[in-house]
Amino acid sequence: MTPALVLLAVLAAGAGVVAVAAPDPRHAALAAFAAIMLAAFVADPLPSPAALLARTAGAALGGWLSWVAVGAAPRVTDRSAFGWPGSAAAATVAFVAGWLASASLATTLGFDAADGRVAGVAGAALAAGSPVPSAAVGAACALFVLAASPVFQPRDGLRLGLGVILLLAAAGLLCSGLGAGPDDTAELAFAALTALAGAGIAAVVGTMLRATGDLHLRDPLARESTVRHRPADEAHRRPAR
Protein backbone atom coordinates (compact mmCIF):
# COMPACT_ATOMS: atom_id res chain seq x y z
CA MET A 1 0.00 0.00 0.00
CA THR A 2 2.83 2.43 0.86
CA PRO A 3 4.40 2.53 -2.64
CA ALA A 4 0.96 3.12 -4.15
CA LEU A 5 0.33 6.10 -1.85
CA VAL A 6 3.74 7.58 -2.69
CA LEU A 7 2.89 7.17 -6.38
CA LEU A 8 -0.40 9.01 -5.81
CA ALA A 9 1.57 11.91 -4.32
CA VAL A 10 3.76 12.03 -7.44
CA LEU A 11 0.66 11.91 -9.65
CA ALA A 12 -0.93 14.76 -7.68
CA ALA A 13 2.15 16.91 -8.33
CA GLY A 14 2.07 15.89 -12.00
CA ALA A 15 -1.59 16.88 -12.23
CA GLY A 16 -0.61 20.28 -10.87
CA VAL A 17 1.88 20.66 -13.72
CA VAL A 18 -0.87 19.93 -16.24
CA ALA A 19 -3.19 22.42 -14.52
CA VAL A 20 -0.79 25.32 -15.05
CA ALA A 21 0.95 24.29 -18.29
CA ALA A 22 -1.78 22.73 -20.46
CA PRO A 23 -3.06 25.22 -23.06
CA ASP A 24 -6.52 23.61 -23.25
CA PRO A 25 -8.65 24.99 -20.37
CA ARG A 26 -10.65 21.76 -20.09
CA HIS A 27 -7.53 19.68 -19.56
CA ALA A 28 -6.24 22.21 -17.03
CA ALA A 29 -9.50 22.19 -15.06
CA LEU A 30 -9.71 18.41 -14.90
CA ALA A 31 -6.06 18.17 -13.85
CA ALA A 32 -6.48 20.64 -10.98
CA PHE A 33 -9.44 18.76 -9.54
CA ALA A 34 -7.66 15.45 -10.11
CA ALA A 35 -4.79 16.80 -8.00
CA ILE A 36 -7.06 17.65 -5.08
CA MET A 37 -8.83 14.29 -5.33
CA LEU A 38 -5.55 12.34 -5.36
CA ALA A 39 -4.29 14.40 -2.43
CA ALA A 40 -7.07 13.02 -0.24
CA PHE A 41 -5.57 9.52 -0.47
CA VAL A 42 -1.98 10.47 0.38
CA ALA A 43 -2.16 9.83 4.12
CA ASP A 44 -0.90 7.27 6.60
CA PRO A 45 -3.21 6.05 8.03
CA LEU A 46 -5.95 6.72 5.49
CA PRO A 47 -9.03 8.74 6.47
CA SER A 48 -12.31 6.95 6.97
CA PRO A 49 -14.20 5.68 3.89
CA ALA A 50 -16.88 8.32 4.45
CA ALA A 51 -14.28 11.10 4.46
CA LEU A 52 -12.63 9.77 1.30
CA LEU A 53 -16.01 9.50 -0.39
CA ALA A 54 -16.81 13.10 0.55
CA ARG A 55 -13.48 14.36 -0.79
CA THR A 56 -13.98 12.42 -4.03
CA ALA A 57 -17.53 13.73 -4.42
CA GLY A 58 -16.43 17.32 -3.76
CA ALA A 59 -13.65 17.09 -6.35
CA ALA A 60 -15.96 15.42 -8.88
CA LEU A 61 -18.66 18.07 -8.43
CA GLY A 62 -16.20 20.96 -8.61
CA GLY A 63 -14.50 19.48 -11.65
CA TRP A 64 -17.80 18.90 -13.44
CA LEU A 65 -18.97 22.46 -12.82
CA SER A 66 -15.67 23.83 -14.14
CA TRP A 67 -15.78 21.52 -17.18
CA VAL A 68 -19.26 22.71 -18.10
CA ALA A 69 -18.28 26.36 -17.63
CA VAL A 70 -15.21 26.21 -19.88
CA GLY A 71 -17.10 24.43 -22.64
CA ALA A 72 -17.64 27.74 -24.43
CA ALA A 73 -14.13 29.06 -23.74
CA PRO A 74 -11.40 29.32 -26.40
CA ARG A 75 -9.50 26.08 -26.86
CA VAL A 76 -6.21 27.81 -26.02
CA THR A 77 -5.89 30.14 -23.01
CA ASP A 78 -3.07 31.78 -21.07
CA ARG A 79 -0.89 29.26 -19.29
CA SER A 80 2.26 29.37 -17.20
CA ALA A 81 5.03 31.41 -18.77
CA PHE A 82 7.46 28.59 -17.86
CA GLY A 83 5.70 26.14 -20.18
CA TRP A 84 5.87 22.38 -19.78
CA PRO A 85 9.63 21.99 -19.12
CA GLY A 86 9.88 24.87 -16.64
CA SER A 87 6.75 23.88 -14.72
CA ALA A 88 7.83 20.24 -14.51
CA ALA A 89 11.33 21.21 -13.38
CA ALA A 90 10.02 23.58 -10.69
CA ALA A 91 7.61 20.94 -9.41
CA THR A 92 10.35 18.30 -9.30
CA VAL A 93 12.76 20.50 -7.37
CA ALA A 94 10.05 21.54 -4.92
CA PHE A 95 8.94 17.93 -4.42
CA VAL A 96 12.47 16.76 -3.63
CA ALA A 97 13.10 19.74 -1.36
CA GLY A 98 9.89 19.10 0.56
CA TRP A 99 10.71 15.40 0.91
CA LEU A 100 14.19 16.16 2.28
CA ALA A 101 12.85 18.81 4.66
CA SER A 102 10.25 16.40 6.01
CA ALA A 103 12.95 13.76 6.50
CA SER A 104 14.89 16.24 8.63
CA LEU A 105 11.79 16.91 10.68
CA ALA A 106 11.24 13.17 11.10
CA THR A 107 14.78 12.87 12.48
CA THR A 108 14.03 15.63 14.97
CA LEU A 109 10.89 13.86 16.14
CA GLY A 110 12.44 10.40 16.02
CA PHE A 111 13.99 10.53 19.48
CA ASP A 112 10.53 10.05 20.98
CA ALA A 113 9.33 7.47 18.46
CA ALA A 114 10.98 4.51 20.19
CA ASP A 115 8.85 4.79 23.32
CA GLY A 116 5.69 5.69 21.44
CA ARG A 117 5.36 9.21 22.84
CA VAL A 118 4.67 10.72 19.41
CA ALA A 119 1.44 8.80 18.89
CA GLY A 120 -1.48 11.16 18.39
CA VAL A 121 0.63 14.30 18.02
CA ALA A 122 1.64 16.36 15.00
CA GLY A 123 4.20 14.61 12.85
CA ALA A 124 3.52 11.17 14.36
CA ALA A 125 3.61 9.38 11.01
CA LEU A 126 6.84 11.16 10.07
CA ALA A 127 8.50 10.13 13.31
CA ALA A 128 7.35 6.54 12.74
CA GLY A 129 9.41 6.49 9.55
CA SER A 130 6.64 6.16 6.97
CA PRO A 131 7.54 7.59 3.52
CA VAL A 132 3.90 8.53 2.83
CA PRO A 133 3.90 11.76 4.89
CA SER A 134 7.24 12.72 3.34
CA ALA A 135 5.68 12.27 -0.10
CA ALA A 136 2.68 14.30 1.02
CA VAL A 137 4.89 17.20 2.13
CA GLY A 138 6.88 16.99 -1.09
CA ALA A 139 3.73 17.08 -3.23
CA ALA A 140 2.41 19.99 -1.16
CA CYS A 141 5.59 21.99 -1.81
CA ALA A 142 5.33 21.21 -5.54
CA LEU A 143 1.72 22.40 -5.70
CA PHE A 144 2.52 25.56 -3.72
CA VAL A 145 5.26 26.44 -6.22
CA LEU A 146 3.03 25.71 -9.21
CA ALA A 147 0.16 27.78 -7.81
CA ALA A 148 2.32 30.82 -7.08
CA SER A 149 2.32 32.25 -10.60
CA PRO A 150 -1.42 31.99 -11.43
CA VAL A 151 -2.44 33.22 -7.97
CA PHE A 152 0.00 36.08 -7.37
CA GLN A 153 0.47 37.17 -11.01
CA PRO A 154 -2.83 36.17 -12.62
CA ARG A 155 -3.31 36.64 -16.35
CA ASP A 156 -6.27 34.34 -16.85
CA GLY A 157 -9.45 34.08 -14.79
CA LEU A 158 -9.63 30.30 -15.02
CA ARG A 159 -5.97 29.77 -14.11
CA LEU A 160 -6.43 32.01 -11.08
CA GLY A 161 -9.24 29.77 -9.85
CA LEU A 162 -7.28 26.62 -10.60
CA GLY A 163 -4.33 28.04 -8.68
CA VAL A 164 -6.60 28.37 -5.65
CA ILE A 165 -7.60 24.72 -6.10
CA LEU A 166 -3.93 23.72 -6.12
CA LEU A 167 -3.33 25.71 -2.93
CA LEU A 168 -6.26 23.93 -1.31
CA ALA A 169 -4.82 20.57 -2.37
CA ALA A 170 -1.41 21.55 -0.99
CA ALA A 171 -2.98 22.53 2.34
CA GLY A 172 -4.68 19.14 2.54
CA LEU A 173 -1.40 17.37 1.81
CA LEU A 174 0.37 19.32 4.54
CA CYS A 175 -2.35 18.40 7.01
CA SER A 176 -1.90 14.74 6.07
CA GLY A 177 1.88 14.84 6.21
CA LEU A 178 2.39 16.91 9.35
CA GLY A 179 -0.84 16.25 11.20
CA ALA A 180 -1.59 13.96 14.12
CA GLY A 181 -3.75 11.59 12.07
CA PRO A 182 -7.03 11.46 10.14
CA ASP A 183 -9.55 14.17 11.00
CA ASP A 184 -12.95 13.51 9.43
CA THR A 185 -14.18 17.03 10.22
CA ALA A 186 -11.27 18.56 8.33
CA GLU A 187 -11.80 16.15 5.44
CA LEU A 188 -15.45 17.14 5.16
CA ALA A 189 -14.46 20.81 5.27
CA PHE A 190 -11.99 20.26 2.41
CA ALA A 191 -14.70 18.49 0.43
CA ALA A 192 -17.14 21.38 0.88
CA LEU A 193 -14.48 23.97 0.01
CA THR A 194 -13.56 22.06 -3.13
CA ALA A 195 -17.15 21.96 -4.35
CA LEU A 196 -17.67 25.65 -3.52
CA ALA A 197 -14.43 26.57 -5.28
CA GLY A 198 -15.59 24.70 -8.38
CA ALA A 199 -18.90 26.58 -8.30
CA GLY A 200 -17.00 29.86 -7.91
CA ILE A 201 -14.75 29.07 -10.86
CA ALA A 202 -17.78 28.22 -12.98
CA ALA A 203 -19.47 31.50 -12.05
CA VAL A 204 -16.37 33.59 -12.78
CA VAL A 205 -15.68 31.83 -16.08
CA GLY A 206 -19.28 32.18 -17.22
CA THR A 207 -19.36 35.88 -16.34
CA MET A 208 -16.08 36.59 -18.14
CA LEU A 209 -17.14 34.71 -21.27
CA ARG A 210 -20.43 36.63 -21.44
CA ALA A 211 -18.73 39.98 -20.83
CA THR A 212 -15.60 39.74 -22.98
CA GLY A 213 -15.71 36.42 -24.83
CA ASP A 214 -12.43 35.21 -23.34
CA LEU A 215 -10.78 34.56 -19.97
CA HIS A 216 -8.00 37.13 -20.13
CA LEU A 217 -7.79 39.42 -17.10
CA ARG A 218 -7.68 43.09 -18.04
CA ASP A 219 -6.41 45.96 -15.89
CA PRO A 220 -9.36 48.30 -15.25
CA LEU A 221 -7.01 51.20 -14.43
CA ALA A 222 -5.26 50.81 -17.76
CA ARG A 223 -8.59 50.76 -19.58
CA GLU A 224 -9.75 53.88 -17.73
CA SER A 225 -6.51 55.65 -18.59
CA THR A 226 -6.94 54.75 -22.27
CA VAL A 227 -10.53 56.00 -22.35
CA ARG A 228 -9.67 59.30 -20.71
CA HIS A 229 -6.55 59.93 -22.79
CA ARG A 230 -6.68 62.81 -25.24
CA PRO A 231 -4.02 63.98 -27.68
CA ALA A 232 -1.95 66.91 -26.51
CA ASP A 233 -3.17 69.22 -29.27
CA GLU A 234 -6.79 68.40 -28.40
CA ALA A 235 -6.21 69.06 -24.73
CA HIS A 236 -4.94 72.58 -25.49
CA ARG A 237 -7.44 73.31 -28.22
CA ARG A 238 -9.70 76.22 -27.43
CA PRO A 239 -13.42 75.82 -27.98
CA ALA A 240 -14.69 77.54 -31.11
CA ARG A 241 -16.92 80.59 -30.60
**Averaged pLDDT score across all residues of the chain:** 84
* Cα torsion through 78, 80, 82, 83, rounded to 10: -70
> 53 pLDDT exceeds 90?
yes
> 168 pLDDT exceeds 80?
yes
Interatomic CA distance for residues 35 and 152, integer angstroms: 20
Question: Would you put residue 153 in left (φ > 0), alpha (ψ -120 to 50) or beta?
Answer: beta
pLDDT digits (tens, 9 = 90+) for 104-161: 776 666 545 444 555 555 566 776 778 999 999 999 999 999 999 999 988 888 999 9
Please provide residue 151's backbone torsions phi and psi, each rounded to the nearest 5 degrees.
-90, -45
pLDDT digits (tens, 9 = 90+) for 72-100: 888 887 777 788 899 999 999 999 999 99
Average pLDDT over residues 215-225: 60
* pTM as predicted: 0.84
| Distances 33 to 49, 158, 195 between C-alpha atoms, Å | 19, 13, 10
